[in-house]
């Protein structure tokens, strides 16, 4: 039986609560003989700052570099509002993305039939929705230099962030999007703001060339990023794969998440380039939702995005696509049975907590194993 070494980084807020449910799912798969999942757990974000004065320790980075996959919960919270900027909890996540070179962030937004009512949009707009946002994750304004606040002679301050992309960075993320479209519905929508940004002009040019030269059978369209946000709430089913830069991808994926009923539903995979020798990719899997400090520690959080992220790890890093299908099916079973956490429950309806939802998914999974 294949053995996998997983690094669990639960982080802050609801992170530890939802991660605990992933462990149960991994145990169930292990017991059914699908693999041996060795897990190691370490600190990240505010929890790591409290312990070591850094949002991610060097020893944790070493573990992340050697793991078959990293599972990440969430970071941040009001407790760390005043820590120095370079040590804020989010810096831990950004270092992991950068140092593992996880340039491709896959954020699928799928509307489970049972949840069409939980969306703030009308049922016909989101029923059957299945889109994939491909977000560039190691470039753009998140990492561009200069990135600074300077004090001017007149005492005013001047803050600068730099949006920057090279041909190579755009080419490789475009290929990820086109490759996904090939095994989906054959359509890529590229988004940028070429009407105001030089990096948008280059983005559009490069994506167009890669599409024409390497993927002539894939339909390619271009939407300005603001218009894409509008179209996502107007008629999201027009999209298959949306490819965007780091910042637009952050925003558009939150919008897409809400279409599916709740931020608590959306998983994500962050992937590096395949290793030339082994073909293996570095990878990190995290829910799109954050640490939700308002409900942390109360056992109320929805674990589905975190469990779905583990499903993506099975599919994209561990070569266990069938097990991933089973996990996805177990989630759908539980939703179809009517069980809801608070974030996806109808007003006034009964809702269960994190542990009950996790247990129900494990039970549904066992039935399918
Ligand atoms: C996300 C989050 C992160 C981001 C934060 C926590 C740094 O919003 O993964 O979408 O902005 O990328
Ligand atoms: Mg975000």
How far is CA 105 from each of CA 97, 292, 304, 310, rounded to the nearest angstrom? Answer: 10, 21, 18, 15
290 DSSP β-pair partners: none
Residues classed as catalytic: 142, 193, 226, 250, 254
Q: Is 250 in the pocket of ligand 1 (CB under 6 A)?
A: yes
Which stretches does DSSP call E strand in 77-124? 104-110
Confidence at residue 77, expressed as pLDDT on a 0 to 100 scale: 97
Mutate which of 93, 135, 143, 256 for ligand 1 pocket (most atoms within 8 A of beta carbon): 93
Q: How far is the CA of 195 from the centre of ligand 1 (A)?
A: 26
pLDDT band at 114 (very low <50, low <70, confident <90, very high): confident
Nearest CA to ligand 1 atom 10: 250
- What's the pLDDT tens digit per position in 3-51? 999 999 999 999 999 999 999 999 999 999 999 999 999 999 999 999 9
Nearest CA to ligand 1 atom 9: 288
Confidence at residue 347, expressed as pLDDT on a 0 to 100 scale: 81
Evaluate if residue 257 carries a pLDDT over 90.
Answer: no
Tell me how far apart the alpha carbons of residues 65 and 246 are, in angstroms, rounded to a whole number: 22
Confidence at residue 170, expressed as pLDDT on a 0 to 100 scale: 98
Nearest CA to ligand 1 atom 8: 250
- What's the pLDDT tens digit per position in 49-93? 999 999 999 999 999 999 999 999 999 999 999 999 999 999 999
**Burial class of residue 150 (count of CB atoms within 10 Å of its CB; 0-12, 13-18, 19+):** exposed
Confidence at residue 116, expressed as pLDDT on a 0 to 100 scale: 85
Q: How far is the CA of 196 from the centre of ligand 1 (A)?
A: 24
Evaluate if residue 112 carries a pLDDT over 90.
Answer: no
**Burial class of residue 245 (count of CB atoms within 10 Å of its CB; 0-12, 13-18, 19+):** buried
Evaluate if residue 346 carries a pLDDT over 90.
Answer: no
For residue 97, which atom of ligand 1 is closest to its CA?
A: 12
Confidence at residue 113, expressed as pLDDT on a 0 to 100 scale: 82
Confidence at residue 115, expressed as pLDDT on a 0 to 100 scale: 85
Evaluate if residue 244 carries a pLDDT over 90.
Answer: yes
Q: Is 90 in the pocket of ligand 1 (CB under 6 A)?
A: yes
pTM score above 0.85: yes
- What's the pLDDT tens digit per position in 117-153? 888 899 999 999 999 999 999 999 999 999 999 999 9
Mean of all residue pLDDT scores within the chain: 96
Confidence at residue 81, expressed as pLDDT on a 0 to 100 scale: 96
Q: Which two tokens stand for residue 277?
A: 């020798």
Mutate which of 75, 290, 309 for ligand 1 pocket (most atoms within 8 A of beta carbon): 290
Q: How far is the CA of 288 from the centre of ligand 2 (A)?
A: 6
Q: How far is the CA of 250 from the centre of ligand 1 (A)?
A: 7
Which residues line ion ligand 2, judged by CB < 5 Å? 250
Fold held by 1-102+289-369: Isopropylmalate Dehydrogenase (3.40.718)
Q: Across residues 208-214, what is the average pLDDT?
A: 98
């Amino acid at each position: 039986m294949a053995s996998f070494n997983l690094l669990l980084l639960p982080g802050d807020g609801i992170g530890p609560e939802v991660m605990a449910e992933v462990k149960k799912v991994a145990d169930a798969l292990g017991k059914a003989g699908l693999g041996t999942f060795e897990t190691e757990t370490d600190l990240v974000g505010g929890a790591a700052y409290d312990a070591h004065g850094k949002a991610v320790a060097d020893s944790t980075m070493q573990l992340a570099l050697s793991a078959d996959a990293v599972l990440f919960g969430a970071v941040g919270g009001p407790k760390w509002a005043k820590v120095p900027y370079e040590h804020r909890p989010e810096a831990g996540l950004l270092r992991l993305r950068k140092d593992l070179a996880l340039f491709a962030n896959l954020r699928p937004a799928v509307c489970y039939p049972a949840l069409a009512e939980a969306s703030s949009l009308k049922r016909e707009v989101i029923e059957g929705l299945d889109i994939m946002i491909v977000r560039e994750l190691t470039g753009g304004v998140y990492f561009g230099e200069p990135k600074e606040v300077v004090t001017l002679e007149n005492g005013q301050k001047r803050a600068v962030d730099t949006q920057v992309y090279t041909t190579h960075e755009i080419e490789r993320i475009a290929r990820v999007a086109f490759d996904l479209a090939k095994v989906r519905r054959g359509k890529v929508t590229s988004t940028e703001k070429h009407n105001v940004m030089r990096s948008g002009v280059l983005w559009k040019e490069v994506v167009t060339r890669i599409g024409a030269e390497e993927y002539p059978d894939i339909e390619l369209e271009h939407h300005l990023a603001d218009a894409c946000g509008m179209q996502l709430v107007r008629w999201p089913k027009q999209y298959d794969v949306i490819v965007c830069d780091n910042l637009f991808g952050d925003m558009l994926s939150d919008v897409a998440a809400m279409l599916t009923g709740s931020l608590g539903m959306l998983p994500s995979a962050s992937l590096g380039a395949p290793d030339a020798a082994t073909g293996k990719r570095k990878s990190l899997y995290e829910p799109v939702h954050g640490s939700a400090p308002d409900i942390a520690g109360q056992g109320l959080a929805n674990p589905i995005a975190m469990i779905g992220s583990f499903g993506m790890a099975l599919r994209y890093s561990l070569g266990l696509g069938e097990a991933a299908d089973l996990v996805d099916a177990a989630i759908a079973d539980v939703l179809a049975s009517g069980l809801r956490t608070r974030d996806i429950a109808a007003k006034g309806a009964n809702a269960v907590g994190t542990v009950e939802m996790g247990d129900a998914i494990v039970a549904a999974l066992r039935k399918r194993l």
